[in-house]
């Protein structure tokens, strides 16, 4: 029977209940898969149980980078960077069908922020490019012979050729460096399959619901076959909790106080072309009911109307973690909230609450939590019913104002105002206003 074949599950589940294992791994994400492979390759009798499907947790929802840990460079965590670079190189070498080199463009702008997390501050803008260059040299050197491509400096023109949607204003040059990209779920399943090839008994839809004990230690786990709705015991000398964000819950099943503390955090990838957002004829509404951080914050700020519940929080917290803040949202910020506040939000990675966000003009309205959905719907309906041409013109105007100077923006506004007065809808709006009635818009 082929290891981890679709037809193998029944036989594997039977073995789970019958065999005696050296290691039982809980969790079929990349951590559990790696542990199972390592142990099985060393000759241990290994079982791995996953409560849903393999890689259904974080391991299928990552940014899909097999990176060398560039984010840890500013923190000088060199041991971790070296390890990650070696692993990256080995993956590209041994599994080119799963992990492939991915070039990145790191633009350098005039008056650019310092790299987040860097403890020393270079004296000038010139120094910043220099510091980035040194960092990337270190990144290349630490990868050694397993490096997948040396970084280089490229001109502003070349940068815009490679990344045409980048802002050209103030762009001095860029660095091109390499990391690697993978399909995270596929990688996890491949590692699991390899573990199975080394003899590991690997099953999905098998959930650990409790543990069994010998005096002084755990000696097995109670596992529920979710598909057959049957429970059985898996005996193992060692149990490894690789259940990711569920680690604390699984540890609690022992009945003892958990030594692991998990602080769940959520990362969401929403990929929306900026032009699409701004070119939509109807206005876009950001309804922020939780934490809008990093790209989420940028996405919210890219919308035309931002409604926040009392519980909303806004931040660029990732810069606190040493991640480079992406430029898109941060460019827009000073225009929206003033340079002083933008710096505070981006550079200090402040987390600001809804009241503060309203005070500095980051959001249009703050709404009580229990009325949030109703108010959002109400505003959406009102916006949808407005004169489409006037709205589209206003949107274009707002959008333009990000790319031009304040004087030019005001000029454009004057022109647009004059033009708008010529549309039927605007005339109707003025008439309706004067006659104190609801306007009847026709979209012309």
Ligand X SMILES: Cc1cc2nc3c(=O)[nH]c(=O)nc-3n(C[C@H](O)[C@H](O)[C@H](O)COP(=O)(O)OP(=O)(O)OC[C@H]3O[C@@H](n4cnc5c(N)ncnc54)[C@H](O)[C@@H]3O)c2cc1C
Residues that bind ligand X (CB under 6 A): 26-32, 49-52, 56-59, 62-65, 67, 207-208, 242-246, 250, 267
**Beta strands 46-49 and 201-203, pairing class:** parallel
Q: Which is nearer to ligand X, 146 or 156 (CB)?
A: 146
Tokens 């990391």 label which residue? 179
Task: Give the integer Cα–Cα distance in Å for 281 and 389.
Answer: 8
Give me the residue label for tokens 């803008």.
125
**Shortest spacing between CB 243 and ligand X, in angstroms:** 4
Which residues, 6 or more positions from 233, have their beta carbon under 8 angstroms from its beta carbon? 17, 212, 220, 221, 222, 223
- Measured from the CB atom, is 23 or 30 closer to ligand X? 30
Shortest Å distance, C-beta 230 to ligand X? 15
Least distance between ligand X and beta carbon 42 (Å)? 20
- Coil vs helix vs strand at 257: coil
Nearer to ligand X among residue 162 and residue 226 (C-beta): 226
At closest approach, how far in Å is the CB of 260 from ligand X?
12
Shortest CA distance to 71 belongs to which of 319, 239, 396? 319
C-beta closer to ligand X: residue 324 or 380: 324
Contact 147, 93 (CB under 8 A): no
Parallel, antiparallel or unpaired: strands 217-225 and 201-203? unpaired
Please give the Cα distance from 305 to 375 (Å, whole number).
13
Sheet holding 99-109, edge to edge: 99-109, 171-182, 152-155
In the complex, the smallest distance separating the C-beta of residue 362 from ligand X, rounded to whole angstroms, is: 24
Is 63 or 405 the residue whose CB approaches ligand X more closely? 63
Q: How far is the CB of 354 from ligand X (least distance, A)?
A: 24
Rounded CA-CA distance 94/80 in Å is 21
**Quick one: 65 or 432, whose CB is closer to ligand X?**
65
* Degrees to nearest 5, angle at CA 315 with 308 and 354: 30
Query: Virtual CA dihedral for 344, 346, 349, 352, nearest 10 degrees?
Result: 60
Give the nearest distance from C-beta 332 to ligand X in angstroms: 23
The residue among 28 and 117 lying less far from ligand X, judged by its C-beta, is: 28
Nearest approach, Cβ of 35 to ligand X (angstroms)?
Answer: 9
Question: Smaller CB distance to ligand X: residue 26 or 362?
Answer: 26
Residue 371 main-chain phi, psi, to 5 deg:
-105, 5
Structure tokens at 35: 């542990």
Query: Alpha-carbon distance 245 to 263, whole Å?
Result: 8
Angle between helices 406-420 and 388-403 (to 10 degrees): 170
Q: Which of residues 3 and 34 has its CB atom nearest to ligand X in the complex?
A: 34
User: How many angstroms separate the CA atoms of 49 and 44, rounded?
Assistant: 16
């Amino acid at each position: 029977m082929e290891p981890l074949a679709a037809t193998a599950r029944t036989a594997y589940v039977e073995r789970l209940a019958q065999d005696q294992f050296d290691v039982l791994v809980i969790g079929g994400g990349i951590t559990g898969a790696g542990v199972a492979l390592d142990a099985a390759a060393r000759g241990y009798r290994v079982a791995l149980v996953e409560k849903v499907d393999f890689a259904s947790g974080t391991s299928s929802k990552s940014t899909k980078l097999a990176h060398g840990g560039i984010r840890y460079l500013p923190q000088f965590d060199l041991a971790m960077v070296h390890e990650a670079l070696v692993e990256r190189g080995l993956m590209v070498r041994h599994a080119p069908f799963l992990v492939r080199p991915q070039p990145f463009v790191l633009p350098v702008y005039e008056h650019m922020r310092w790299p987040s997390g860097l403890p020393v501050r270079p004296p000038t803008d010139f120094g910043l490019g220099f510091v980035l260059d040194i960092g990337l040299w270190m990144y290349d050197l630490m990868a050694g012979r397993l490096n997948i491509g040396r970084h280089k400096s490229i001109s502003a023109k070349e940068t815009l050729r490679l990344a045409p949607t980048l802002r050209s204003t103030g762009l001095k040059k860029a660095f091109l460096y390499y990391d690697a990209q993978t399909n995270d779920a596929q990688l996890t399943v491949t590692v699991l399959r390899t573990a199975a090839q080394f003899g590991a008994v690997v099953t999905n839809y098998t959930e650990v619901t409790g543990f069994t004990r010998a005096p002084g230690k755990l000696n097995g786990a109670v596992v529920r076959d979710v598909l057959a709705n049957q429970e059985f015991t898996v005996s193992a000398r060692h149990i490894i909790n690789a259940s990711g964000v569920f680690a604390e819950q699984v540890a609690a099943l022992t009945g003892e106080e958990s030594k692991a503390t998990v602080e769940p955090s959520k990362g969401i990838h929403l990929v929306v072309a900026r032009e699409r957002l701004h070119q939509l004829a109807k206005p876009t509404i950001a309804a922020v009911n939780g934490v809008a951080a990093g790209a989420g914050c940028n996405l919210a700020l890219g919308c035309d109307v931002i409604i926040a519940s009392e519980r909303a929080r806004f931040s660029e917290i990732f810069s606190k973690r040493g991640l480079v803040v992406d430029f898109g949202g941060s460019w827009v910020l000073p225009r929206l909230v003033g340079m002083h506040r933008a710096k505070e939000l981006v550079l200090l990675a402040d987390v600001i609450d809804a009241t503060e966000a309203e005070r500095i003009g980051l959001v249009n309205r703050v709404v009580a939590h229990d009325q949030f959905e109703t108010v959002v719907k109400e505003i959406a309906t009102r916006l949808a019913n407005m004169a489409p041409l006037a709205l589209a013109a206003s949107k274009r105007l707002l959008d333009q104002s990000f790319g031009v100077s304040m004087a030019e923006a005001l000029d454009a506004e004057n022109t647009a105002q004059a033009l708008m007065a010529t549309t039927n809808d605007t005339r109707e709006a003025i008439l309706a206003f004067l006659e104190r009635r609801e306007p009847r818009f026709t979209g012309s």
